Amino acid sequence: MTIQLLAFYFFAFFAVLGALLVITLRNPVHAVLSLVLTFFSVACIWMLMQAEFLALVLIVVYVGAVMVLFLFVVMMLDIKVAAAREGFIRHLPVGIGVALIMLAEMVTLIGLRAMQVAPPPNPAAMHGESNVAWIGTALYTQYLLPFEVAAMILTVGIVAAVALTLRHRVGVRHQNASQQVAAVARDRVRLVSMPAERGDPGAQP
């Protein structure tokens, strides 16, 4: 057994463990932290597969930005755990059945593709470039439009998170975006005409 295989089993164990904790923990904050552990473990697995770009994106974008945003949203929403768990046992059999069907479909699909489709060649090695350089070139040339659409979707998610956590409290000053946009200069600035006066020559400066 090689070191790479041992590292794969190590990271895979924590990835599966974190995924199970996400759906079993009752505290939403702990579930988000478990999802961070899962993402980090999967990024380590991708690094072993020489997919450096995907591993770095998963860590920087998801673990470093998106999951931190999720964590703050969950903490600020103050979710009532008892109310969220109402009806969980009643719908548990249906959820388990759907999960088992999805698992069987994924295993079947992966098995059929493994038997019929040969593994594709590494495009980065074919072009004589690193994984990061090849994906960056393809991302900003061939797939520029999907990249911009993904950026817009993330922007909408940030605005939605701010809207969900926005609370109007009595006695706390806040901004009104509609009033700020509708403001005009003549309503904000008043020019006053005053007569000029000559100062006293003998006055001390």
The 10s digit of each residue's pLDDT in 117-142 is 566 676 777 777 777 788 788 888 88
Higher pLDDT, 108 or 12: 12
Q: Is it the case that residue 108 has pLDDT exceeding 60? A: yes
% of the chain residues with pLDDT over 90: 5
Bigger pLDDT: 104 vs 166: 104
pLDDT digits (tens, 9 = 90+) for 147-194: 899 889 989 988 887 777 766 667 767 777 788 888 787 777 777 787
Dihedral of alpha carbons 195, 198, 203, 205, sign: positive
What is this structure's pTM? Answer: 0.54
Q: What angle do CA 108, 113, 119 make, to 5 degrees?
A: 145
Cα 40 to Cα 34: distance, rounded to the nearest angstrom: 10
Sorted by sequence, the CB contacts under 8 Å of residue 77 that are 6+ apart come out as 164, 165
* Domain architecture of the chain: domains with CATH: 1-81 (1.20.120.1200)
**Confidence bin at 87 (pLDDT 50/70/90):** low
